[in-house]
Structure 1
Amino acid sequence: MRSKRFGDADRTVDAREIDGEPFGDIMGALEALSDDETLLLINSFEPEPLYDVLEERGYDYETANPEPDEWHVEIERA
């Protein structure tokens, strides 16, 4: 069970503001998280390919689609 409300992340990466491929920025932000921190990823599409990578690397995630063309993925260590 999450101790924080969805959207109450400790850090945020807005992939829409990254010039080029955001994967490295996302992974770097995740590696910098402490065990009790969460990362909010904001993207213009649902980043489905990222989900398998997150699971393989030991992260849990929750996804929301608050606006058309705006996806929020809150990520934390499993």
Structure 2
Amino acid sequence: MSLDPTSADRKLDVREIDGEPFGDIMAALGELSPDESLLLINSFEPEPLYTVLEDRGFAYEASNPEPDVWHVEIRHA
């Protein structure tokens, strides 16, 4: 299954970040209003992030639309 990348309110492509993207991801999530979603684009499935998201009250849906591209749509749970 592939997510619709145009359905998210905000987008963060961490492939463009030089270095560890965790701080950028948390900052983007901190700016989300309760009814918005964030599309995270990465070159690999960010499995360690999933526990952090759940612990902070977020739900997510991940897809792998093409090789080396992962989309994770994140919203408040």
TM-score category of the 2 structures, normalised to the smaller one:
over 0.9
Code of the aligned partner of 2:49? L
Q: Give the match for residue 14 of structure 1.
A: 13
1:70 correspondence with 2:72: no
Distance in 1 between the 2:16 and 2:24 partners? 11
Does structure 2 retain, via aligned residues, the 8 Å contact 1:59–1:77?
A: yes
Q: Give the match for residue 41 of structure 2.
A: 42
Aligned CA RMSD, in angstroms, stands at 1.0
3-state SS of paired residue (2:73): strand
Aligned pairs (5 A) from 1:48-63:
48-63=47-62
Percent identity of the aligned residues? 72
TM-score (norm 1): 0.92
Per the TM alignment, residue 6 of structure 1 is displaced from its structure 2 partner at its CA by 4.0
Per the TM alignment, residue 71 of structure 1 is displaced from its structure 2 partner at its CA by 0.2
3-state SS of paired residue (1:35): coil
Task: Using CA pairs under 8 Å that are at least 6 residues apart, name the structure with larger relative contact order, 1 or 2.
Answer: 2
Code of the aligned partner of 1:14? D
Code of the aligned partner of 2:16? E
Question: Which runs of no fewer than 5 residues in structure 2 stay unpaired?
Answer: none
Q: Which runs of 4+ in 1 moved over 6 A?
A: none
Code of the aligned partner of 1:43? N
